[in-house]
Structure 1
């Protein structure tokens, strides 16, 4: 879309320059006056083109900076997300370990109770 707009502007400027040149060439003026007007028109066209080039460079620089910022932010966000997942995984592993230890302790306790019950019940 941006390229189409730039080509449209360039086409317009080229058409305007050609039209102005033809108008100057066919206008009833002296040769010196015609050359002076053509020189002014060329200088104006050069100034317009320089301005357009400066604007394009500025836009390119801004777009590059924005892309770099976006890539940098994305990298930081991904890093934060990975750090979050790692911490959550570590917390989850710790909770699972504690739960397993609790279940093992409870199982051991009940097994001892059952063994005691069997031992004392058999007597």
Structure 2
């Protein structure tokens, strides 16, 4: 979720909570009834916020899981490439060693 979307949702929830609070406070009901409405509105907002938090948490877990999988794949590819390069270096050094042995054998005759 982009930061802009999160800000928009937060602003919307804040506006709903403020509007509900103002509407309840100015309603022509008894105090006990108004307090009950206010409590219900608070519970609804709390539940909505919890659901949004759970959704964002799940989304972040999925993204981190994918990033970990990508990192593991990149690591395995790097190790494989290094292994091939090591083989190339060893082959090169073996060829040079053989050339030096050949040159040394010519000098000993």
Larger RCO (CA within 8 A; separation ≥ 6): 2
Residue 55 of structure 1: how far off its partner (Å): 1.5
Rg larger for: 1
Task: Report the Cα distance in structure 2 between the residues aligned to 1:51 and 1:77, rounded to whole angstroms.
Answer: 39
Query: What per-residue deviation string (whole Å, max 9, x for no partner) do you get for residues 63-117 of structure 1?
Result: 22222112111111111122233334555x39x94xx97xx8xxxxxxxxxxxxx
Matches within 5 A, 1:1-123: 2-90=2-90, 93=92, 97=95
> Unpaired segments of 5 or more residues in structure 1?
105-123
Structure 1 runs (4+) greater than 4 angstroms displaced: 88-91
Instruction: Give me the TM-score of the superposition, normalised by structure 1.
Output: 0.66
What RMSD in Å do the two structures reach over aligned CA positions?
A: 2.5
> Unpaired segments of 5 or more residues in structure 2?
103-109
Task: Report the Cα distance in structure 2 between the residues aligned to 1:33 and 1:44, rounded to whole angstroms.
Answer: 17
Instruction: Give me the TM-score of the superposition, normalised by structure 2.
Output: 0.74
